[in-house]
Structure 1
């Protein structure tokens, strides 16, 4: 605002460009009668201005529904500014361009083709009531300096909101702030147990200095630019639905909710459809990397509407880890719940990778190696099979607690958070043979029966006989099983894409798994070009050659372990799967005959090329 000639249009248009927001010149909205009156040298009165001011107020309200804007107009009286602010007073920041009469008159006289002449300038100064609640700017400064001064003083709303300050939520908040994003952070308040969480968290980390902390949902939502981008980092399940319902009353059409938790992909589809009916966009995002990955750069797997993804892309790609070529380990995965599905399968692959390392550890332990010895063996393997999980396992093996290794003091009961269970259910529903994931999951379940295992150990008296395996035998078996694990996981993703009509790029999915996530490894990097050729890695001649070379070792390892009484569930499953997969004529024919016998399920005949189904009366 300011008198005519103060530079409102020049400054306003430049400021709007800097803020990436629409610009409107109030003069363009004067009715023809007002323009005619001023062109004839007649000052406007309050009645003339009333309809014009109402028009600008309506314009401001419309723009606030979309995002924000910069509007310039004289707004000389307090009463004028009251009309302009009607219903949106908390969303307005006034900027007053202040200059002397002579300074502004000189500027007006230099303007051409404008209906406001310098003769009317005195009437404007006579009408002017200087605002008390505005950013006041001296027009003697250069336009560049004026815009910069306004930009620094104006309270810009946050670009991105993060809801939930658990371990991962805190790390992601710091990551966003470190990348230069203006963020709002929210955490609930529970009197006596969870108080001032957001404020205390902000005050603990210097990078969060410009962030806005909240414990009130309405204030949190209102602190964000529109369309609002809110990432939920809360527990999957009912909590996620409760939070969404709490947010909805304060959201506007086109706002975006991003679920960054480990949600079930089918629930993600339901939430996507539910929020679509309310004109709110929903993105399901898988985030892998744990606390450290979330802070330094996770692998991010987003699924949902492609256009909606583009609105959150700068933020997700900005905080993601970088691959070997400097590209973000974040890509648009596909439609609806595909992002959470891919993250779920990622976790299933992770279950198997962890189980395989546990089985390998058990083999060496049975051979009399202590944790340091095993760590040294694993260290020597890194040139062949390096991975994040191998690296942390080496650290775990070397960790001492007093005079003993800490690992020896950890109870052998492995927990899970449900994603392995979901993956196993999904592979059964889709009819994909992800046997290793199921085996890894059920091995964890078995571990939880600690008391029964102790009793069974006494009753059965199984002792482990000596193993003649060497380190190379075990390494080769481990490599073999890892190839089968990745084949099965990727096959499951491929089958889901077909079943749900998702457009998935397995090579891109492998690429974003090369850094920032739990299953990052050299082998995943090798799969990127392989998957560009075919979604089925077992058609690749190089991988076929590797498996053929490694198979004698996996056979030897599994046979010796079984004979020794040592459980190697996933190592065994990997070779059994390939044996079944490569059998041209399997024993499934007798199963189908049995099905036809008791249930008349029919069968196809090898001597009938038509593929017709037959039934036999077997009695």
Structure 2
């Protein structure tokens, strides 16, 4: 088995490592010469892969993904398959699939969650595409997912994978916001001596136990007050897209809206709530927010 990986940053580089650890040959390309890339161009990547090829695109959403897919269309052959594993807006997937299909190239979109820990823990993967295309790429997805039954789903047709990941990130926004608000409330109370210790205690036996709590405890070990973290948090787009989709579908999403607005407002004036959100984003994704 072999696959081309385009984009060897925090996510793509770790994914390439996990695939190789499962015995899959990876031909990696990145624009940066310092990226430990295997080839220096997309043309060279395509040349090194045996047809029919599978190529995974792991670059920033928007123009970088658009440009990469357009270039791949000119390089790949009929029967090849492109996977978009970035945080592309789900509405763009149909356009990408149509563009590639004009040359007989298949397309699968995959929402990926797991952050910088994925190489070790595995990634949660949400795939969108035709059933036969999903089955074709499933061995790669099985290598990337965590051990066990869960962590991989064929969410639906093209666009379904990124739609599922968009909803996943909207839920993530709400969960982190709630944790931040709880921490902020305890820091203002004379009845709580150590808010970070209280929250860390919930990791066992509590109904709110989660990996996010584990990551909070890890951040709090280094800085119990989180005052070294900026009281701001960026929003990367997915929650905003979810709110837009929910409005079109007639689904109320007040928790996601509140969490989204809190991040937008934080750019002007932050609070301890956003220190928690910022710390968690740094822990699971390596995201560094500048004050």
Q: TM-score under structure 1 normalisation?
A: 0.42
Tell me which residue corresponds to 1:162.
5
2:22 to 162, 179, 203: 179
What is the CA deviation profile of residues 530-566 of structure 1, one whole-angstrom value per residue up to 9, with x for unaligned ones? Answer: xxxxxxxxxxxxxxxxxxxxxxxxxxxxxxxxxxxxx
8 Å CA contact retained: 1:321, 1:329: yes
Whose helix proportion is higher, 1 or 2?
1
**Structure exhibiting the larger radius of gyration computed from Cα positions:** 1
What is the CA deviation profile of residues 364-417 of structure 1, one whole-angstrom value per residue up to 9, with x for unaligned ones? Answer: 1110477x82222123323122101111112222323xxxx4611323111111
Structural mapping, 1:447-462, within 5 Å: 447-450=266-269
Whole-Å separation in 1 of the counterparts to 2:46 and 2:211: 38
1:394 to 213, 217, 227: 217
2:188 to 366, 370, 373: 366
1:425 to 233, 244, 247: 244
8 Å CA contact retained: 1:198, 1:215: no
What is the CA deviation profile of residues 507-544 of structure 1, one whole-angstrom value per residue up to 9, with x for unaligned ones? Answer: xxxxxxxxxxx7xxxxxxxxxxxxxxxxxxxxxxxxxx
Going from structure 1 to structure 2, the CA distance change for 1:360 and 1:406 (only over 3 Å counts) comes to: closer
Tell me which residue corresponds to 1:345.
167
Whole-Å separation in 2 of the counterparts to 1:187 and 1:406: 38
Going from structure 1 to structure 2, the CA distance change for 1:239 and 1:369 (only over 3 Å counts) comes to: farther
Whole-Å separation in 1 of the counterparts to 2:36 and 2:40: 7
Tell me which residue corresponds to 1:89.
none
* Cα drift, residue 435 of structure 1: 1.3
Structural mapping, 1:79-90, within 5 Å: none
Tell me which residue corresponds to 1:234.
59
Greater relative CO, 1 or 2 (CA 8 Å, sep 6+): 2
Tell me which residue corresponds to 2:80.
255
Going from structure 1 to structure 2, the CA distance change for 1:328 and 1:252 (only over 3 Å counts) comes to: farther
8 Å CA contact retained: 2:200, 2:216: no
Structural mapping, 1:50-199, within 5 Å: 159-188=2-31, 194-199=32-37
* Cα drift, residue 269 of structure 1: 1.8
* Cα drift, residue 298 of structure 1: 0.6
* Cα drift, residue 306 of structure 1: 1.0
Q: Partner of 1:284: helix, strand, or coil? A: strand
Number of paired residues?
270
Once superposed, which parts of structure 1, at least 4 consecutive aligned residues long, lie more than 6 Å away? none
Q: Which runs of 5+ in 1 are unaligned?
A: 1-157, 189-193, 200-212, 455-517, 519-619
What is the CA deviation profile of residues 194-230 of structure 1, one whole-angstrom value per residue up to 9, with x for unaligned ones? Answer: 325334xxxxxxxxxxxxx101221210111222100
Whole-Å separation in 2 of the counterparts to 1:239 and 1:379: 40
Matched, 1:278 2:103: yes
2:196 to 375, 383, 396: 375
What is the CA deviation profile of residues 119-163 of structure 1, one whole-angstrom value per residue up to 9, with x for unaligned ones? Answer: xxxxxxxxxxxxxxxxxxxxxxxxxxxxxxxxxxxxxxx611101
Structural mapping, 1:572-611, within 5 Å: none
* Cα drift, residue 309 of structure 1: 1.0
Going from structure 1 to structure 2, the CA distance change for 1:446 and 1:369 (only over 3 Å counts) comes to: farther
8 Å CA contact retained: 1:317, 1:328: no
Q: Which runs of 5+ in 2 are unaligned?
A: 272-283, 285-291
8 Å CA contact retained: 2:3, 2:25: yes
* Cα drift, residue 333 of structure 1: 1.2
Tell me which residue corresponds to 1:293.
118
Tell me which residue corresponds to 1:268.
93
Tell me which residue corresponds to 1:573.
none
8 Å CA contact retained: 2:126, 2:154: yes
Whole-Å separation in 2 of the counterparts to 1:310 and 1:363: 48
8 Å CA contact retained: 2:19, 2:144: yes
8 Å CA contact retained: 2:183, 2:199: no
Q: Partner of 1:331: helix, strand, or coil? A: strand
8 Å CA contact retained: 2:3, 2:26: yes
8 Å CA contact retained: 1:172, 1:295: no
What is the CA deviation profile of residues 292-333 of structure 1, one whole-angstrom value per residue up to 9, with x for unaligned ones? Answer: 1244311000101111111110011122112xxx22511211
